[in-house]
Structure 1
């Protein structure tokens, strides 16, 4: 049976968006919009750019960042931007630049590949283990290739779901400090798990740019993310109004609505609901694929599924696709052209639990 929706499109399980939770999200989002419309004259709010975000948005963004940091940071070090990708574009262009080098895990966020081509920098992939980047190999790369920056995702790494221990984070931070490598930390998956180590950036704040977006914990299309710069001056210099060739600036209405969600305490309501639904879907994964060689955890938005040697990933993906379901092949994430025999599938893109079960059945049928 072909597992498609009513439009006959493939059921997308290749993405790792948060599951929709309208029972928790809709009412608080409407209330946040209403709060903004009552508090601000629309033309005053939207009639001019708010470079780096308004004072209110940066202050509440600092509070949001404080969910993961040891304390709420100063608002003058915070920039409010139009999603994580736009922050990365600005930082990679300014901190790495043409002919520079970016260190990253050998399996990493695939959008970095087109960024490298567009901005003209080189990638320095680093070997990994179950925690992520290997310190010895990372130091060797820093010594021999002199990367300007390191793109880090130490919590629920994409795609492997790796979580660095505190000891590993301390070691990596010290290597970065020793070799003058700037840390660009993408912590976007960190708000769903309740017990994970503090950000890598906390171990070397003077050389770190810490990014925390909303797209993986609240709703995919909110497109509001916050970046904490090492200093207030660095925030101003790197995200100054004269840089007009990108899309980094957040729409004032969008930033204000997310600020209201933070101010109202509604962020917790949504995150709790997303976490609950994610865990419920992981229970289904364990029931269907409990014997499989896979990596994840109940509060992660994706599963890393290793395949037997006699089941090449490309053939596996094709087999699942023939049943109407899309998953991601490991080569999508390979930065060193040596992908393992594995696939990644996500928790949240199927619109409801029943659709997720149908997609999971297709994955299990091809795997088992």
Structure 2
């Protein structure tokens, strides 16, 4: 084990990010080498005089950047070729190489720009412009915006009303509002054993205990949820029933009912993230519809229409929207009124639905391309999903596959990034097909790299890490 201790004395910002930045710099300078085993979370925390949770968040960030790999019983190791700068994954694909298939975002379309231009012209010439400029109280949003959001959510499978809606700056902001308002530090939230990294970051920042529960092809297992509620003081369930990332599970209706019944029986708050729900032509009823008195549901435009339009819609249980004001105030007092006005206009005029239909059609074309190139290999996909979930052949481990892909100019996401806690990660990768790779020619090349690697055997250096 290396005696690495990062120097963060002159680094500004959050300490866990400073540790991750220091690790990246030390790898580039050769002070830490690929294959080196890093100190344990507890040992590094003791050396630096920090909390274990801060070091855990730093290591989680380093995993997200694909700098390190953590394995139960073995430790934390620097990835092969981890000197490649991956701090920009999901921010600017030019920073990580020519092909970014590591990040989920909608495909850019000229019709989105046309719709945006038309909406801005409409707003600038309307008599509502002055109404969008000042602070607004209550902070939950304008009545017209909340009404449009309620109609949008109802199409996604949850009947609600405008007075139960809170406007947010996207789904991640909705998560933060709920966790800040309803949960106290050290309380327990449960989720699937594989979950979106954003959930892990948010719960860690709130000093919550996040526990991963067993799942199968239909999603979270009700028995596992029941057992957790009986053995722990579970405060909240965080779930993504539609197009679950990374597994792409769509939870069946009967499973949703069973999960809701457990939550009702034990008084557990349901936090339902439906950011991918709009990709479904005929979505099943929202899980929240089976436990409406204790469920907080949200969705957004960011993953399904336009990442730059940071707007989301949060539906609270009847009469409980004001409970979310503390979290809203702790993050931002209110959403920007102009994006909210654009979203409401698009919903009322049917533009949002047309943009969703285009996005589904484009993703269907991309999935068909993937099916052609990856013919003969086992993977999970949906007709219009943003990604595919690829279990690797026995000859490959995920870290070696990811490293070899990077050497060929391709970024994909290892399963390790989605693991909750210290359970072993499956040997699989998530391959994104969306807007991080806007060109279909570029997408085809990336898929060909994936196919070529699947046909090969890893080099010996990746077998002994």
Are residue 277 (structure 1) and residue 365 (structure 2) matched?
Answer: no
Bigger Rg, structure 1 or 2: 2
- Contact persistence 2:189–2:238 (CA under 8 A): yes
Q: 1:79 to 1:7 in 2, by over 3 A?
A: closer
**TM-score of the two chains, using structure 1 as the length reference:** 0.94
**Which of the residues 230, 240, 245 maps onto 1:153?**
240
- Structure 2 stretches lacking a partner, 5+ long: 1-92, 456-465
**Corresponding residue number in structure 1 for 2:63:** none
Considering Cα pairs closer than 8 Å and 6+ residues apart, tell me whether 1 or 2 has the greater RCO.
Answer: 1
Q: After superposition, what is the alpha-carbon deviation per residue over 1:339-359, rounded to whole angstroms, capped at 9, x for unaligned?
A: 100000111120121111111
For residues 119 and 12 of structure 1, the distance between their equivalents in structure 2, rounded to whole angstroms, comes to 30
Distance in 2 (alpha carbons) for counterparts of 1:250 and 1:352: 32
The question of 1:294 aligning with 2:382 is answered no
- The root-mean-square deviation of aligned C-alpha atoms, in Å, is 1.8
Identify the residue that residue 263 of structure 1 maps to in structure 2. Answer: 348
Q: Distance in 2 between matches of 1:175 and 1:182?
A: 11
What secondary structure sits across from 1:344 in the alignment? strand
Q: 2:183 aligns with which of 96, 102, 107?
A: 96
**2:346 aligned with 1:346:** no
Do structure 1's residue 334 and structure 2's residue 422 form an aligned pair? no
TM-score, structure 2 normalization: 0.75
Q: 2:270 aligned to 170, 183, 186, which one?
A: 183
CA distance in 1, matches of 2:299, 2:256: 17
Distance 2:292 2:310 in 1: 25
**Structure 2 residue 168 is the aligned partner of structure 1 residue 81:** yes
Match among 322, 331, 337 for residue 236 of structure 1:
322
Q: C-alpha displacement at 1:113, in angstroms? A: 1.9
Match of 2:145 among 42, 51, 57: 57
Distance in 2, matches of 1:256 and 1:139, equals 42
Cα separation, partners in 2 of 1:285 and 1:236, compared to 1, 3 Å: same
Distance 2:356 2:278 in 1: 8
Confirm or deny that 1:167 pairs with 2:254. yes
Distance 1:55 1:293, change over 3 A: same
Deviations 1:150-180 (A, max 9, x none): 0010111011101111110000000000011
In structure 2, relative to structure 1, the CA distance for the partners of 1:9 and 1:252 (3 Å cut) is: same
How many matched pairs? Answer: 361
